[in-house]
């Protein structure tokens, strides 16, 4: 069966880390709207500068911009499975996604809600570092690279994201609760919701996810 999943869950719960590992293990394409937008933000274009300012404020980029980025990726996919990591984030985006998938003749198999307590989230975001080049995620304590400050994969410097600074994290959590939390109910009503307890160590969380995947058809 080809896996086509969406990942919900508050910032810092570990969506990106779990998505990266699951994609490696199952040969899926990870479509992270955060990564796509950061790429856009680095281009120095008018659109890029606008996206950068929104992201650094902790608010959401407008639905149409994000939907276009996702649609372009999904069109390239063919028969490959995917994890949409961080999309949809609003009800409007979820409806747009349905339209895009319908057009492509594809169906989702599950919406995974990656959950962690507020305390865990703050600890994870403050210690998160990621590769400035390939985006691989690390943590000062929990996921250390082999060589301090360098990416295991490509050797580039690890950086802290501007939006992981404490003053922005607060806004991101509020934005999530207001705009994205309603999607949990939306996918529950569609019979697609699976809740993942991601409070534990990365390996433990991966076992939880793999156990849930066995029940996905
Ligand atoms: P996290 O899930 O940890 O918040 P991401 O890298 O997924 O981190 O997202 C970072 C930022 O990118 C968000 O705070 C938001 O500004 C923007 N963003 C990502 N995905 C979306 C989306 N689907 N809709 C609107 N904005 C988005």
Which pLDDT tens digit goes with each residue over 25-45?
999 999 999 999 999 999 999
d(CA 88, CA 83): 11
> Which pLDDT tens digit goes with each residue over 84-131?
999 999 999 999 999 999 999 999 999 999 999 988 999 999 999 999
Which atom in ligand 1 lies closest to the alpha carbon of residue 88? Answer: 23
Count the alpha carbons within 13 Å of 128 in the hemisphere toward its beta carbon: 26
- Tell me what pLDDT residue 188 has: 98
Reply yes or no on whether 190 is catalytic: no
Task: Transcribe 107-136 into DSSP letters.
Answer: ---EEEEEE--HHHHHHHHHHEEEETTT--
pLDDT digits (tens, 9 = 90+) for 137-195: 999 999 999 999 999 999 999 999 999 988 899 999 999 999 999 999 999 999 999 99
Ligand 1 atom, smallest distance to 87 CA = 23
Residue 207 has pLDDT above 90, yes or no: yes
The pLDDT, as a whole number, for residue 217 is 65
Q: Using CA atoms, how far apart are residues 58 and 43, in angstroms rounded to an integer?
A: 20
Among protein residues, the one with the nearest Cα to ligand 1's atom 4 is: 11
- Locate the ligand 1 atom nearest the alpha carbon of residue 172 and give its number: 14
Active site residue 107: no
Cα 9 to Cα 12: distance, rounded to the nearest angstrom:
8
Q: How many angstroms does the Cα of residue 38 sit away from the middle of ligand 1? A: 9
CA of 85 to the centre of ligand 1 (A): 9
Active-site choice (4, 15, 124, 194): 15
Ligand 1 interacting residues, C-beta cut-off 6 A? 11-12, 15, 33-34, 37, 54-55, 58-61, 66, 86-87, 89, 93, 163, 172
Please report the DSSP string for 150-174 in residue order.
B-TTT-PBEE--GGGSHHHHHHHHH
Q: Is the dihedral of CA 125, 131, 135, 138 positive or negative?
A: negative
CA 32 to mean position of chain CA atoms:
5
The model carries a pTM of 0.90
The b/e string for 80-99 (b: 16+ C-beta within 10 A; e otherwise) is ebbbbbbbbbbeebbebbee
In the numeric block, the tokens 């979820």 are attached to 94
């Amino acid at each position: 069966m080809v896996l086509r999943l969406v990942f919900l869950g508050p910032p810092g719960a570990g969506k990106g880390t779990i998505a990266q590992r699951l994609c490696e293990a199952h040969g899926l394409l990870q479509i992270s709207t955060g990564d796509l937008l950061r790429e856009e933000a680095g281009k120095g274009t008018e659109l890029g500068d606008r996206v950068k300012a929104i992201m650094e404020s902790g608010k959401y980029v407008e639905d149409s911009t994000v939907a276009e980025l996702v649609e372009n990726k999904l069109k390239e996919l063919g028969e490959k499975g995917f994890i949409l990591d961080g999309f949809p984030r609003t009800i409007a985006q979820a409806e747009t996604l349905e339209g895009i998938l319908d057009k492509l003749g594809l169906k989702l198999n599950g919406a995974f809600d990656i959950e962690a307590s507020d305390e865990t989230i703050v600890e994870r975001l403050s210690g998160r570092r990621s590769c400035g080049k390939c985006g691989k995620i690390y943590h000062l304590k929990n996921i250390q690279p082999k060589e301090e400050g360098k990416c295991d994969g490509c050797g580039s410097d690890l950086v802290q994201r501007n939006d992981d600074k404490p003053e922005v994290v607060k806004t991101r959590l509020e934005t999530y609760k207001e705009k994205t939390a309603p999607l949990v109910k939306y996918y529950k009503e569609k019979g697609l919701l699976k809740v993942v307890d991601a409070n534990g160590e990365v390996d433990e969380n991966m076992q939880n996810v793999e156990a849930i995947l066995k029940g996905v058809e």
